């Protein structure tokens, strides 16, 4: 049988190096959205994306917001064929701790068949696969078989507030589409591509405990005065039991139970706990009783502390009763938990446990519900065929523990199927030092994407 | 009645400014013993002390140790009169947090009748009162009525290890004395001097919890992997109940109960809880049930967290499961608790609570038992008379919650009465920003000290 995309595939083959060079350009921009010092860099990344679309012959525009701009570009409408929104983000996580990077986070470095840089997989590398596949179609055929609408934002790592706000306005009507494609997840394993049909939500908090007006001598005052650092430990500890089950009343009320069928399907996935432990460098796994490790990571809510600070952190032994202590923590959520309801329950839970002599402040920083997308849509079937072309292997169907809050809002606002097509790997070190993207997966992702437009048009 | 110390008092009166200037010189040296970057500064403070004794006509020497040198100087023996060891320290606590100081910690500044600087009261200012009173006696009379042996160390704030080691050697025999005078505590209140007859001990720890080899994405891994920051919170929280009572088995076994008489005497002290709260800026006090605030601060053991750190502490919301988290904490101890035994019990307690998937490391950094000194010795009576001369008011008898571990070792090694004569105030901000020493108390302390040598000689 003739390969209907032989010309496109030949273009992709001939442009591997050029594609990688373009990726390196984008990865060199330290577009850290969580750090206000990097604000100009984040904007530079937006401008690079705009210029990239212009180089493809499109007419991109920056949609200005209160925060970072949205980059928008579209290809011509194709009567009778679906319209596809491609969503991605050009911002990245902070690179700390810097001293653990082998090569600097914003000097993209090719090593062991990977490209190392902050954002390599999350999400610059993955997002760019769809841009490059469109570039190929446009260069070879002058048109795409479906209409593509690219929407690339710059605040995904800090809660997508500007985009969420934009989606609530009538101006966002131009995003109307039949499917939303997002590549910001992982394959199930090396050379085992996957379609992700579920994501966890999140409710993210910062908790401050404030005691005396300044640090006190722990000898003179200890025992007499409430210690904010002790209180912080007690409050964080109270949130979960010793197996990580959340203790906040009502927390599990709206959790949709796993079906026997889904548990069976998850149990069949080839997951090696020993290898998983070795990969992470831990001597044991631990979590909510009654659930497998995959179930705990993908389908169960959590409460994890992300950072704690307060008092003396220097060398030696300073004997103070610190005036304040604080933590960042979040709950991963699953359908049908409501982040706003969860935040209210946590606030009440903490207030109820506040001893005399301290004040607490709970900041609800961002939230999004979890989602599970239907498996029986034609677009999921088209994606499965496209991935088989790109990766030479049919994808397995998985859920993922991370959150892409905006996906939930797209599906609500645009009434479109969400296609979560992850080209990354679990050991890509997203949000960690030495983030990487396997270059073979970058090119396989581009190929799968090129086929996706073809398969979606075929219906 | 003629004032037998009229000539000495006149000298003190005429040298107030000179004494303050000398204090400022010493306070300008950032002799932070906990911070290795300040090692040369700590030594400079030792050399300043040595030069100070030389200016008085003594023949001081630096006793070298593994750490910072001990400064030693003595006045001639006085046959038939007691020998008094004056102990103090020339090192200071770290000045953090720097941004809360009104004037820089190592630029001594006179303001509101106080001198502001790190070490102003703890212990440079208080220690210097005895040096200046000796200077006065030597200048006016050419001799002292008792023999004084000054021993000023440079590692009090980090556990006095070098001095403790020195005291165990035969070389320390030259310190033989009848009483040890230490001014490193506080008055009971403004213009209410006190003799401190009890101090709490301490066992100081650093706790590290180590999980995966690097920070992980809390979405992808949360729920599946033990979170070291959650574990740290749980371990710290488990150490005490909600009222601060320590939960480690055996912790209270050796605590000497308070006598009814002592409780009565403590209850009679004029202590205003409302004013205490206002002074600290807290809206309530809280602690072990069944004990008054003073009892909790002076006579009951504690467990206080001094600092916590781990994971992301920056701006915004980073979603990691941190690879490690750590804390500094200590237990204040009372007679007859043994710090080594307490450390072993805490180690066991924490190991017993360690979940799979993390390692914990408990570092026992330093320890000392608490003490209570006898009230019926002639030297206590002499000190009471001297304080009445210096402050115009007889002292009350108190305990204090802080620890001067070395005092315990002196009393063991030298079989001498300990005289804890505090010239400071509770609101001097020891170990906190804006540490100060009331200048009137500096001069009253010098006067009381000058009288002390006289009264001790009178017997």
Question: Each residue's pLDDT tens digit in chain B (459 positions)?
Answer: 689 999 999 999 999 999 999 999 999 999 999 999 999 999 999 999 999 999 999 999 999 999 999 999 999 999 999 999 999 999 999 999 999 999 999 999 999 999 999 999 999 999 999 999 999 999 999 999 999 999 999 999 998 999 999 999 999 999 999 999 999 988 988 889 999 888 899 999 999 999 999 999 999 999 999 999 999 999 999 999 999 999 999 999 999 999 898 899 899 998 999 999 999 999 999 999 999 999 999 999 999 999 999 999 999 889 999 999 999 999 999 999 999 999 999 999 999 999 999 999 999 998 888 888 777 778 888 999 999 999 999 999 899 898 877 887 887 789 887 899 999 998 999 999 999 999 999 999 999 999 999 999 997
Query: Which stretches does DSSP call E strand in B369-425?
Result: 371-372, 396-400, 417-422
DSSP character string of B287-349? -STTS-HHHHHHTS---EEEEEEEE--SSS---EE-SEEEEEEEEEE-TT--HHHHHHHHHHH
Nearest to B401 among A220, A283, A357 (CB): A220
Residue partners of A6: CB distance under 8 A and separation at least 6: none
Q: Do B287 and A332 touch (CB under 8 A)?
A: no
- Respond yes or no on whether the N-terminal peptide bond of residue B123 is cis (omega within 30° of 0): yes
Structure confidence at residue B411 (pLDDT) = 77
Cβ separation B314–A33 shorter than 8 A: no
Distance from CA of B426 to the nearest CA of A (A): 8
pLDDT one-digit tens code per residue, A239-264: 999 999 999 999 999 999 998 988 99
Under an 8 A CB cutoff, do B432 and A214 touch?
A: yes
Identify from A35, A246, A279, A282 which residue to disrupt to test chain B contact, counting B C-beta atoms within 10 A and taking the largest count: A282
Contact B401 A281 (CB under 8 A): no
pLDDT of residue B1: 64
**Chain B residue nearest residue A202, CA to CA:** B219
Task: Count CA atoms closer than 13 A to B221's CA, side-chain side.
Answer: 35
**CB nearest B288 (choices: A223, A355, A400):** A223
* Four-residue CA torsion sign, A117, A120, A123, A127: positive
Optimal mutation site among A283, A293, A308, interface B, most CBs of chain B within 10 A: A308
User: In the prediction, which pLDDT does A105 show?
Assistant: 98
User: What span, in angstroms and rounded, lies between the C-alpha atoms of B190 and B421?
Assistant: 14
What is the C-alpha separation between B60 and B70, in angstroms, rounded? 10
Distance from CA of A431 to the nearest CA of B (A): 6
CA A27 to chain centre: 17
Tokens of B427: 């609101």
Contact B224 A330 (CB under 8 A): no
- Structure-block tokens of residue B220: 């992808």
Find out whether A32 and B314 touch, Cβ atoms under 8 Å: no
Q: For residue A431, give the chain B residue with the closest CA.
A: B217
Q: Residue B227 is encoded by which pair of tokens?
A: 């979170």
Site of tokens 């606030």: A347
What letter does residue A247 receive in the DSSP assignment?
A: -
Residues facing residue B324 across a β-bridge? B210
Cross-chain CB nearest to B314 (options A94, A225, A276): A94
Distance, in Å, from the CA atom of A449 to the CA atom of A383, rounded to the nearest integer, reads 9
CA B10, B12, B14, B17: dihedral to nearest 10 degrees? -170
Of chain A, the end-to-end C-alpha distance in Å amounts to 20
- Residue showing tokens 């003179």: A220
d(CA A47, CA A32): 15
CA B175 to chain centre: 21
What are the C-alpha distances in Å from B425 to residues A367, B22, B202, B385? Answer: 49, 21, 22, 20
Which residues, including other chains, have CB under 8 Å from residue B240's CB and lie 6 or more apart?
A230, B246, B247, B303
**Based on the number of CB atoms within 10 Å of its own CB, is A401 exposed (0-12), middle (13-18) or buried (19 or more)?**
buried
Evaluated on CA atoms B39, B41, B42, B48, the torsion sign reads positive
Instruction: Give the pTM.
Output: 0.77
Task: Report the C-alpha dihedral over residues A441, A447, A453, A456, rounded to 10 degrees.
Answer: -70
Nearest-angstrom CA–CA distance, B426 and B413: 30
Of B434, B229, B408, the C-alpha closest to B336 is B408
| Angle, helices B6-14/B16-27, rounded to nearest 10 degrees | 60
Which residues on A lie below 8 Å from B330 (Cβ)? Answer: 218, 317, 319
In residues, how long is chain B? 459
Contact between residue A300 and residue A288 where contact means Cβ atoms under 8 Å apart: yes
Token pair, residue B120, equals: 């102003």
Verify whether the Cβ–Cβ distance B401 to A223 is below 8 Å.
yes
A433 neighbourhood in chain B, CB within 8 Å: 214-215
Taking CA atoms, B396 is separated from A451, B200, B382, B383, in Å, by 89, 18, 14, 11
Q: Do B192 and B111 form a contact (C-beta atoms < 8 A)? A: no
Q: Which of A103, A132, A131, A108 shows the shortest CA–CA distance to A120? A: A108
Q: Which helix (H) or strand (E) holds A439?
A: helix A439-458
Is A94 in Cβ contact with B312 (below 8 Å)?
yes
Q: How far is CA A329 from CA A229, A344, A380, B230, B359, in A?
A: 16, 15, 34, 9, 21
Q: Domains of chain A, with CATH numbers?
A: 6-199+370-458 (3.40.630.10), 202-255+301-368 (3.30.70.360), 257-294 (no CATH)
Q: In the 3-class helix/strand/coil scheme, how is A80-118 assigned residue by residue?
A: CCCEEEEEEECCECCCCCHHHCCCCCCCCEEECCEEECC
CA–centroid distance for A234 within its chain = 30
Q: Do the Cβ atoms of A215 and B433 come within 8 Å?
A: yes
H or E element that contains B39:
helix B39-55
Give me the residue from A157, A294, A307 closest to B311, CB to CB.
Answer: A307
On chain B, the residues whose CB falls within 8 A of the CB of A160 are none
Residues of chain B contacting A223 with CB distance shorter than 8 Å: 244, 287-288, 296-297, 300-302, 304, 332, 401
Nearest chain A residue to B302 by CA distance is A223
Contacts 24+ apart (CB under 8 A), B375-384: B375/B197, B377/B417, B378/B459, B379/B82, B379/B178, B379/B179, B379/B417, B379/B419, B379/B456, B380/B195, B380/B197, B380/B417, B380/B419, B382/B452, B382/B455, B382/B456, B382/B458, B382/B459, B383/B195, B383/B419, B383/B421, B383/B452, B383/B455, B384/B195
Which of B100, B212, B306 faces A319 most closely, judged by CB atoms? B306
Instruction: Please provide residue A197's backbone torsions phi and psi, each rounded to the nearest 5 degrees.
Output: -105, 0
The answer to whether the beta carbons of residues A185 and A104 sit under 8 Å apart is: no
CA distances B284 to A226, A232, B332, Å, are: 8, 17, 22
Looking at CA atoms only, how far is residue A372 from chain B in angstroms?
15
Q: What per-residue confidence (pLDDT) applies to A1?
A: 64
Residue A429's nearest CA partner among A97, A197, A177 is A97
What residues of chain A score a pLDDT lower than 50?
Answer: none
Round to whole Å and give the CA distance between B389 and B384.
9
B36 vs A230, A303, A315: nearest CB = A315
Residue numbers in B near A284 (CB within 8 A): 226, 355-357
How far is Cα B317 from Cα B385, in angstroms, rounded to an integer? 62
Cβ-Cβ contacts under 8 Å between A and B: the total is 386
Q: In this predicted structure, what is the pLDDT of residue B348?
A: 98
pLDDT, one tens digit per residue, over A277-334 is 999 999 999 999 999 999 999 999 999 999 999 999 999 889 999 999 999 999 999 9
A159, A238, A332: residue with CB nearest B222? A332
Compute the nearest-CA separation of B400 from chain A (Å). 6
d(CA B459, CA B146) in angstroms, rounded, equals 10
> How many other β-carbons are positioned within 10 Å of the β-carbon of residue A206?
18
Q: B322 and A306: CB-CB below 8 Å?
A: yes
CA distance B128 to chain A (A): 22
CA pair distance A420, A408, nearest whole angstrom: 12
């Amino acid at each position: 049988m003739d390969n209907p995309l032989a010309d496109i595939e030949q273009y992709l083959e001939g442009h591997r190096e050029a594609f990688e060079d373009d990726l390196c350009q984008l990865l060199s921009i330290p577009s850290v959205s969580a750090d206000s010092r990097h604000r100009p860099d984040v904007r530079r990344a937006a401008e690079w994306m705009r210029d990239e679309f212009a180089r493809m012959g499109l007419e991109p525009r920056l949609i200005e917001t209160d925060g970072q701009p949205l980059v928008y570009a579209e290809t011509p409408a194709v009567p009778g064929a679906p319209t596809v929104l491609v969503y991605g983000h050009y911002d990245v996580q902070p690179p700390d701790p810097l001293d653990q990077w082998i090569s600097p986070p914003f000097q993209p470095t090719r090593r062991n068949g990977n490209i190392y840089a902050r954002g390599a997989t999350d999400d610059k590398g993955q997002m760019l696969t769809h841009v490059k596949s469109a570039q190929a179609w446009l260069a070879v055929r002058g048109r795409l078989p479906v209409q593509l609408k690219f929407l690339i934002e710059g605040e995904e790592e800090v809660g997508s507030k500007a985009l969420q706000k934009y989606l609530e306005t009538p101006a966002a009507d131009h995003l109307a589409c039949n499917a939303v494609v997002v590549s910001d997840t992982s394959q199930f394993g090396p050379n085992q591509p996957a379609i992700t049909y579920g994501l966890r939500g999140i409710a993210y908090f910062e908790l401050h405990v404030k005691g005396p007006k300044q640090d006190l001598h722990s000898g003179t005052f200890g025992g007499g005065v409430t210690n904010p650092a002790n209180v912080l430990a007690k409050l964080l500890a109270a949130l979960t039991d010793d197996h990580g089950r959340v203790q906040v009343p009502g927390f599990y009320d709206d959790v949709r139970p796993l079906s026997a069928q889904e548990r069976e399907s998850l149990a069949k996935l080839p997951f090696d706990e020993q290898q998983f432990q070795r990969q992470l460098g831990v001597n044991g796994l631990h979590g909510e009783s009654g659930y497998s490790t995959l179930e705990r990571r993908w389908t169960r809510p959590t409460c994890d502390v992300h950072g704690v600070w307060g008092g003396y952190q220097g060398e030696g032994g300073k004997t103070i009763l610190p005036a304040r202590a604080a933590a960042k923590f979040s709950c991963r959520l699953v359908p049908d938990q409501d982040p706003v309801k969860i935040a209210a329950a946590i606030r009440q839970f903490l207030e109820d446990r506040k001893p005399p002599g301290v004040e607490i402040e709970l900041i609800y920083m961002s939230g999004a519900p979890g989602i599970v997308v239907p498996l029986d849509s034609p677009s999921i079937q088209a994606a499965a065929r496209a991935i088989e072309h790109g990766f030479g292997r049919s994808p397995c169907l998985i859920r993922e523990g991370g959150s892409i809050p905006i996906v939930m809002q797209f599906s609500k606002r645009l009434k479109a199927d969400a296609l979560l097509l992850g080209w990354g790997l679990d050991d890509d070190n997203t949000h960690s030092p030495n983030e990487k993207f396997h270059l073979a997966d970058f090119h396989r992702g581009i190929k799968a994407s090129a086929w996706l437009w073809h398969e979606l048009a075929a219906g």
